[in-house]
Each structure stands twice: as structure tokens, then as C-alpha cells.
Amino acid sequence: MKKFLASKGILVLLLGLLLLLAACGSSEESSNEESAADDTPEQTEEENEAEETETDTEEEGNEEAGEKLVIGFSQVGAESEWRTANTKSIQDAITDAGHELKFSDAQQKQENQIKAIRSFITQKVDAIVFSPVVETGFETVLQEAKDANIPVFLADRSVDIEDDSLWTTFLGSDFVEEGRKAGNWLVEEMADEEGPVNIVELQGTVGSAPAIDRKEGFEEIIGSEDKFEIIKSQTGDFTRAKGKEVMEAFLKSDGENIDVLYSHNDDMAIGAIQAIEEYGLKPGEDIIIIGVDAVRGAFEAMADGKMNVTIECNPLFGPQLVDLIEQHFAGEELEKRIAVEESMYTMDQAEELLPTREY
Ligand code: AHR
């Protein structure tokens, strides 16, 4: 009986222990469940807050230190000495300022530029620098950039588009004024001539802003005197080779009748100078040579007495352009049109200035 009671007591004790363990287990489980339900949203909010703070700090830091931007640059091509200097100036300014550069050379073809801009949009660049080959036909792609919230900075050449909200600002030369300067120089130079003064004109790329505007400005000035006449006008596409080729054709048809060559850039003028020499005439004497750009090659030709004047078109505006891009990202309102300051150089200044020419 004693044995039976003892074993019954052990049984009760074991049962009691089991019940106690079960109760502990269930209370632990429920407290775990409670803490999971409570903690998860709290932790997520905290994490979210931390992430937001991190981004804010980053943004504040960027604003203070100057944001590193990814900049897509669609350049016209490599058609002239001027263009080479301009490309280098812009590329150097972008990378020297610590930004990332994506570069595309359009080889003077509009379709290449449209493709390049679309690719910059796909790559989600921060800004696009764009020097349009021609003035028209860019509405759609610029609208796409605007829709993607990517500001477009026109450099050197502008576009002929009514909706000027499609670009942020245009930094470049006043091409009409350059044409006027060329015209004014000629009018003064020929002040004592009775005339007629027969002019041949080498135009830049058809449909490009400098070709259109330099023609307009020049004609506006010479048009005021009847003695001036443009007897031939054709494009040389801003290159030396084409300038030479077209001048050969001018000489073939008009030869000794040509008094003046007005060339929309120095490279075409330099090509034409070769054609004139090969034809047996003296450039700078038998035919007055007027160029635009003021590149080193023109200074060399002037120092040799083969070219009379060059109107400056300054390509070295890379640093000014990058300043404008940074100002835009710092929230500053930019003027729609910003002009590059320029001058004009004649034959008698060439030797002295040649050693200091930067391009
Ligand atoms: O747009 C600027 C013009 O383009 C330069 O005068 C010419 O040389 C260049 O190719």
C-alpha cells in the first residue's frame, strides 16, 4: 500500500510538472508572436527613416560639395581646327570639374546626333550638351529629353524651334554679328574702289546656324552698296578639302574676275588659298581673303601675306559652359541666350599674335 501511494505521488508530481511546462511553453510562444507583430512595423519604419536620412544627407552633401553629374555631349564632328579646339575645351572642362562625360561625334550627320541623344536619354544622364549640326528637325528628340526631365544645353550652335522650353540655355557666338564684322571690314577696305567688287562665297554646312547667320550678317552690310556683288556662292561644308574643291570650280568659271573670297570659316579659306596658288594667282593680293574663326592656320596664312582678315569665333568656352550647368543644378535661373565675346584680327597683327594663339 505504501509502495502504491508513493508511485501515485510520483505520478501526480510528474503530471503537475508536465502541466507547468505546457503552460510556460504556450506563454513563451504567445509572447514571441506578440513581439514579432509589434517589432516588424516599428523596425521597418526605423529602417525607412534611417534610409531617408541617409539619402537626405547624401543630397545635402552633394549640394554642398557640388554634385557629380553624368553629362552626355553630342558634338557636330571634327570638320575644322575650330571644332577640334572646341571639343577639347568642353571635354576637359567637364572632366576637370569631376563630372562623368559620355561623348558622341556625329560626323556632321543629323541622324547620328538624334541617335546619340536618344542613347543619352536611355542611359539616364543628368544633362545633355548638344551642338546641333543643322538648325531644324530636332523637336521630337528634344521633347523626349524634356519628358525624361533631362536639361539640354545648346553649345556653339542653336536650333530653329518655336518651343524654347525644349532647351535650358544656349551658349555660343553671335554668327550674324560675325557676318556683319566681315562685311564692315570689306566695306572699309574697299572704300576707295569704284567697283564692281566681285565676291565669291564659301558657305558652311547647308542648314547650319553659322552658315545661315554669317551669310545674313554679311549680306546685310554689303547690300548697302551697289558695287558689291556675290557672283558665286556654294557650300564647302566647313572643311579644307571641300573649300579647295569648290574654289577650284569658282576659278574655273570666273578666274581673274574674282576680287574677294568670303569664307564662312578659316579651314575652307585655307583650302581655297591652295586652289588660288595652284591656279597661279596670289591669295591676299589678287584675291582678298576673308575668313571666320581666327584659328592658328589663319594666323599663319596672314603672317605669310596670303589671307587678309579673320573674324574671331571663340571655341574655348568649355569652362563657361560647365559653370552654367552647375548653376542650373544649384537651382539658379539661367538666361536663355548667353553670348561668347569675340574680336577680329587683320594681316598686320598676325606675326605678333601668332605665338599666343591657343587654337
Ligand atoms: O559652329 C561653329 C563653326 O563650325 C565654325 O566656325 C566652323 O569652323 C565649325 O566647323
Q: Give me ligand 1 centre to Cα 82, in Å.
A: 6
Which CATH fold topology does 68-173+316-339 show?
A: Rossmann fold (3.40.50)
pLDDT the model gives residue 40: 33
Q: Give me ligand 1 centre to Cα 211, in Å.
A: 9
- The verdict on the CB of residue 83 being under 6 Å from ligand 1 is yes
Between CA 77 and CA 113 the distance in angstroms is: 10
- The verdict on the CB of residue 210 being under 6 Å from ligand 1 is yes
Given a cut of 90, is residue 13 above it in pLDDT? no
pLDDT the model gives residue 152: 98
- The verdict on the CB of residue 175 being under 6 Å from ligand 1 is no
Q: Give me ligand 1 centre to Cα 219, in Å.
A: 19
Q: Are strands 309-312 and 344-346 parallel, antiparallel or unpaired?
A: antiparallel
Q: Give me ligand 1 centre to Cα 204, in Å.
A: 8
Domains 68-173+316-339 and 175-313 share a fold: yes
Q: Which residue has the higher pLDDT, 1 or 85?
A: 85
Over residues 14-38, the mean pLDDT reads: 41
Given a cut of 70, is residue 53 above it in pLDDT? no
Summarised one tens digit per residue, pLDDT across range 99-124 is 999 999 999 999 999 999 999 999 99
CA torsion 70-167-117-136 (nearest 10°) is -160
Q: Which residue has the higher pLDDT, 261 or 45?
A: 261
Q: Which CATH code fits 175-313?
A: 3.40.50.2300
- DSSP 8-class letter at 306: S
> Hey, where are the domains in the chain?
68-173+316-339, 175-313
Atom of ligand 1 nearest to the CA of 238: 10
Q: Which residues contact 120 (CB under 8 A, 6 or more apart)?
A: 72, 74, 102, 104, 128, 145, 150
CA 133 to chain centre: 11
Mean pLDDT of the chain: 87
* Residue whose CB lies within 8 A of the most ligand 1 atoms, among 74, 76, 80, 176, for a mutation test: 80
Contact 269, 240 (CB under 8 A): no
- The verdict on the CB of residue 80 being under 6 Å from ligand 1 is yes
Q: Give me ligand 1 centre to Cα 343, in Å.
A: 16
Rg (CA), the chain: 36
Given a cut of 80, is residue 3 above it in pLDDT? no
Q: Give me ligand 1 centre to Cα 38, in Å.
A: 69
Given a cut of 80, is residue 50 above it in pLDDT? no
Given a cut of 60, is residue 138 above it in pLDDT? yes
Between CA 170 and CA 205 the distance in angstroms is: 20
Residue 25 identity = G
Between CA 238 and CA 313 the distance in angstroms is: 14
